[in-house]
Chains A and B, each alone.
With several copies, the nearest count.
Chain A
Amino acid sequence: MGGRDATMVLLDENGIRCDGRKIDEPRRIMIKAGGLKNADGSAYIEFGDNKILVGVFGPRDVHPKHMSNTDTGILRVRYHMEPFSVGERKNPAPSRREIEISKVIKEALEPAVMLEKFPRTAVDVFIEILQADGGTRCAALTAASVALADAGIPMRDMVAAIASGKVADTIILDVNNEEDQAGQADMPIGYMPSEEKITLLQLDGVLTPEEYKKCVEVGVEGCKLVYDLQKKALHDKYFGEKAD
């Protein structure tokens, strides 16, 4: 987190960030519920320059059977980057990073999904990163919640997600790629507003105890903004003028 490019000004004297945003201002977020024909539910999100597609299948049978659970349904999540989604072409083999993020997102969604309602079966969430720009896991988690809702999976709440962080000794909302590379800390947060539960939380970078508290608080507030956009996306599809 020392920052590769020490000369980049991440925050100017007027509190404006390298991409023109204010410290508590998220990037442009566009969420669309549905879109895929074959998936049982789907969503597309543009979150800054991130472009992510999520498809959901299930509840459906589990093969091999011994992987299923007679007491509860299981959730399976795959986070996957396209070879062209990042600066240098990514090797198609799944990286250890992708495997870890798949697990982290799965555990962030599990508190939200009423898995007990569909024992013996599985729900599959497939996340495809078409273009990456810092904060993919938060954008992916946000879209996955909408895709699960679009598939009609019973849920306690949706998980909204965004990263807070620290640049130029200041706590900011929604860390972009440059800020992640050259900044001081990055803290992705996933939050269920109506349940008041943090279900995803990670941190890379150094924070004092006070900054740590501030960072969590700023992130939770950001999640509430994202949550409204999630609800709007579902509303647009199911109750909007363009609803089919």
Chain B
Amino acid sequence: MASHSVLDELKRTQILELLEQGKRVDGRALDEARELSIEINAIPKANGSARIRLGDTEVVCGVKIQPDRPFPDTGDKGLFICTAELLPLSHPTVETGPPQPPVIELARVTDRGIRESHMIDVSQLVIEKDKSVIGVFADNVVVDYDGNLFDACSYAATAALLTSKTPKWNWTDEKPVLSEGEEGQLPINTIPVSVTMGKIGNYIVVDPNGDEWASMDARVTITTDSDGNICALQKGGNDGFTLDEIVKCGETSIKVGAQIREKLKSSSQENQ
């Protein structure tokens, strides 16, 4: 997805010509995300899961919840770790092997968007202070690629977390013992929504698809929370933004984020 060919150049020219007329290749408005479909509980044996499609980008997220050791300096907090991986069947250019920098960035941005929103109240995930805590692992795998993995992974993880069931453990004989039959929800504070915008020439488009992603000059991913505040941001790509563009992108992320938050809420409530 990184190589630039003559074909890519032609696509970019076409995309730019359309944008000059206020149009996008797939007919969307500039500030319109693609259709988001959410299948909750796609992996029933996990503690939570979701399989989502954002246009033709498809991601599966499975959540595992299990006892773990706390970090030495935060013995009063549980763990939350969110990962992302590009499966080689998602696109012909994906290679197997250790994750490359773009995938490491994807995983870290997805993780940070959720973590910085304080979506999960990790202070409630303690089994025994300093000794045993609950770890929540949200692992995203990209199954089909058509651009904008940042938002797709974020939505998959959020949908999976909102509908996760967490077991309960008691601290007995110096180890965590599963309390059979007791299950609860994760302690959720807010619903973070990431909105990624691409800059192509002087135009900024929401949720770039694969062709737009290959053509864009820069991008910014902004995560907002249920209060309409901004809680995480990541700029990328090999060009820059003006100050005004960045402020405008903030506003767009709040507006588009609110729509997607409703979608995430309703699909999770259907599955309680």
Contacts and interface: CB of A to CB of B under 8 A. Distances in A.
Interface string A87-120: 1110010001101101110010011000000000
B247 to A, nearest CB: 5
A202 interface: yes
Question: Quick one: which of B58, B240, B242 has the most chain A CB within 10 A?
Answer: B240
Interface string A197-222: 11111111111110011001100100
Contact of B236 (A37, A38, A104): A104
A96 B64 contact: no
Contacts of B89: 36, 38-39, 42, 53-55, 57, 126, 128
A49 B241 contact: no
Given A197-B239, A206-B231, A128 B45 contact: no
A85 interface: yes
A193 B250 CA distance: 21
Contacts of A42: 89
B242 A99 contact: no
Contact of B233 (A49, A130, A202): A202
A84 B58 CA distance: 17
Given A131-B45, A207-B230, A216-B243, A83 B139 contact: yes
B198 to A, nearest CB: 14
Given A38-B91, A202-B233, A99 B139 contact: no
Contacts of A192: 240
Given A107-B237, A126-B87, A213-B247, A204 B108 contact: no
A1 interface: yes
A197 B230 contact: no
B99 to A, nearest CB: 8
A-side interface size class: 35 or more
Given A100-B104, A104-B236, A206 B230 contact: yes
B250 A212 contact: yes
A198 B249 CA distance: 13
Interface string A50-89: 0101110100100000000001000000101011110111
A128 B234 contact: no
Nearest to A1: B116
Interface string A7-25: 0000000000000000000
A84 B241 contact: no
B96 interface: yes
Nearest to A219: B243
A51 B231 contact: no
Interface string A176-201: 00000000000100001001111111
B162 interface: no
Nearest to B95: A63
A201 B235 contact: yes
Interface stretch (B32-40, B126-134, B143-151): B143-151
Contacts of B184: none
A84 B240 contact: no
Interface in B93-121: 96, 101-102, 104-105, 107-108, 112, 116-118
Contacts of A53: 89, 143
A62 B175 CA distance: 51
Contacts of A60: 92
Interface in B199-233: 220, 225, 228-233
B60 interface: yes
B234 A202 contact: yes
A216 B247 contact: yes
B88 interface: yes
A38 to B, nearest CB: 5
A127 B262 CA distance: 35
Contacts of B107: 96
Given A126-B89, A131-B44, A201 B233 contact: yes
Given A37-B146, A83-B83, A209-B229, A198 B92 contact: no
A124 B93 CA distance: 12
B116 A103 contact: no
B123 to A, nearest CB: 9
B49 interface: yes
Interface of B: 4, 42-46, 49, 56, 58, 60, 62-64, 66, 73-74, 83, 85, 87-92, 96, 101-102, 104-105, 107-108, 112, 116-118, 137, 139, 141, 143-146, 220, 225, 228-243, 246-247, 250-251, 254
25 contacts: A1-B116, A36-B143, A39-B89, A82-B60, A84-B137, A88-B66, A89-B66, A89-B137, A100-B108, A111-B240, A131-B43, A133-B45, A196-B243, A200-B235, A201-B233, A201-B234, A201-B246, A202-B233, A202-B235, A203-B230, A203-B234, A206-B225, A207-B230, A212-B230, A216-B247
